[in-house]
Amino acid sequence: MYINGEWSRADNDAGLDVFNPATGEKIGSVANGDQKDAARAIEAAARAFKSWSALTAYQRSEYLYDAYRIMMERKEDLARVMTLEQGKPLKAARNEVRYGADFLLWYAEEAKRVYGDTIPAPRPDQRFIVLKQPVGVVGAITPWNYPVSMVTRKVAPALAAGCTIVLKPAEDTPLCAVEVFKVLHDAGIPGGVANLVTARDPGPIGDEFISNPLVHKLAFTGSTEVGKLLARGAAEHLKRISLELGGHAPFIVFDDADPRRAATGAMLVKFLNTGQACISPNRIFVQRRVIDDFVAEAKARVEKMRAGNGLEAGVSIGPLVGPAAMEKVERQVADALELGATLVSGGRRLTADGLDRGFFYAPTVLSDVSEQMQIYREETFGPVAAIIPFDTEEEVLEMANDTHYGLASYLYTRDISRAMRVFEKLRFGIVGINDINPTAAAAPFGGMKESGLGREGGREGIAEYLETKLGGFSI
């Protein structure tokens, strides 16, 4: 672990082994921390807060610039660690490292743009001044599916704002977090400002974040179920919280769009990270007049995809994270087929050529999916594209919004009026219009409804780590 600027073992001296999901081989180990370690890290962060928050924005910015430079110098090594530990193809891992570094760069700049206000007062002898000041110590928890960028997406704005942080990474991908914290250490960030507690069991760490009065904000990316637990705990102690939770993204293709171009985009984003992304399309709605062309192109695209170890050339589909993920995908596909869906491609676990050592599922396309099926309601988090026909704009908007999730959504159309109407009516925090990658460090990322609270990225991202203070002066 990394606490108060030093690498250390867990208080109980326990270890946590890390395995390659593509091969099942052990690739390393980290400290298996507990609640005592979290408390120790929080105390270090609280001590460091006074001096870190007193630095100028320009001084904090320089540390983040240095971290960005170092991360880019280590891009290839970081990507290889990610592929070994998380399983995604090396090309995708390189893209994620760049995306993760972008947050360090953006918030190195945004640190200098935390502005206050002066407000006209109703009395001639009164003046109002508004300051933005850091919240304090942050407790952060990050997921396994994007094990580098989700770390920097929390650490960078917190440090830019003047907060200190304790981060608990996913138990499946702690090595990536360790490498990121090596970057922060080598950038010279003072001891206690950024702390890392690795652990197999996230429960005690989360409990310490909630109950410890030195923690003033929680930041979490993960499942809606766990997010609700943290939100209840944070509410009891009136702590600030930001949550980036699950999704059930609709992907809408209108009949004025090019169905082949739309299918190309849909398959690219659907099978990104083997479908293990919160913005992955779960329900692909295609207007009936173009659905046959769309399905044919989707089938052709998917059948060219190669599953395997992400370090091998030409691989575009990596493993699922584990047996529970495999069971969920198999259950959803079996349920859909039993209730009348058509299997266009895939639909099976892959075991040939050594793939049985990992959890590989064939990239799958289902058509004729209906609302009675589990896959229509549940987030899949796997490589299955579920295609649903529709007839009218009103009908598809009702179907798309018929979910308690509200993170990402997509639409393809050539009609600018329709694009604007649908953009405004979709109840999702992110809408890609003829765009399958509506994300960037400079853009706000987050959801509505049960997909979360708050935003990460952009100027909204640093606002999550700031308090508003009013000064009223009588002169």
Would residue 278 show up in a list of annotated catalytic residues for this protein?
yes
Would residue 43 show up in a list of annotated catalytic residues for this protein?
no
Domain ranges of the chain: 2-245+449-474, 249-433
140, 155 contact by CB (below 8 A): yes
The pLDDT of residue 106 is 98
Handedness of CA 90, 180, 150, 18 (dihedral sign): positive
Spatial neighbors of 475 by CB under 8 A, at least 6 apart, are: 125, 126, 127
Instruction: Look up the CATH superfamily of 2-245+449-474.
Output: Aldehyde Dehydrogenase; Chain A, domain 1 (3.40.605.10)
What is the residue-level pLDDT of the chain in tens, covering all 475 positions?
Answer: 999 999 999 988 999 999 999 999 999 999 999 999 999 999 999 999 999 999 999 999 999 999 999 999 999 999 999 999 999 999 999 999 999 999 999 999 999 999 999 999 999 999 999 999 999 999 999 999 999 999 999 999 999 999 999 999 999 999 999 999 999 999 999 999 999 999 999 999 999 999 999 999 999 999 999 999 999 999 999 999 999 999 999 999 999 999 999 999 999 999 999 999 999 999 999 999 999 999 999 999 999 999 999 999 999 999 999 999 999 999 999 999 999 999 999 999 999 999 999 999 999 999 999 999 999 999 999 999 999 999 999 999 999 999 999 999 999 999 999 999 999 999 999 999 999 999 999 999 999 999 999 999 999 999 999 999 999 999 9
Measure the CA–CA gap between 51 and 65, rounded to whole angstroms: 19
Of 165, 148, 145, which Cα lies nearest the Cα of 247? 145
In angstroms, the Cα distances linking 37 to 28, 140, 159 are 21, 14, 21
Spatial neighbors of 292 by CB under 8 A, at least 6 apart, are: none
DSSP type of residue 342: E
Q: Which one from 208, 244, 379, 464 is the annotated catalytic residue?
A: 244
Q: Which one from 110, 176, 179, 278 is the annotated catalytic residue?
A: 278
Please name every residue paired with 132 in a beta bridge, in sequence order, or none if there are none.
468
The pLDDT of residue 11 is 86
Q: Which of the four CATH numbers 3.40.309.10, 3.40.630.40, 3.30.450.40, 1.20.1290.10 does domain 249-433 have? A: 3.40.309.10
The crossing angle, in degrees rounded to 10, of helices 90-110 and 75-86 is 120
Q: Which stretches of 382-460 are assigned E, i.e. beta strand?
A: 384-390, 408-412, 430-433, 452-453
In angstroms, the Cα distances linking 204 to 41, 192, 275 are 14, 21, 30
Measure the CA–CA gap between 393 and 414, rounded to whole angstroms: 14
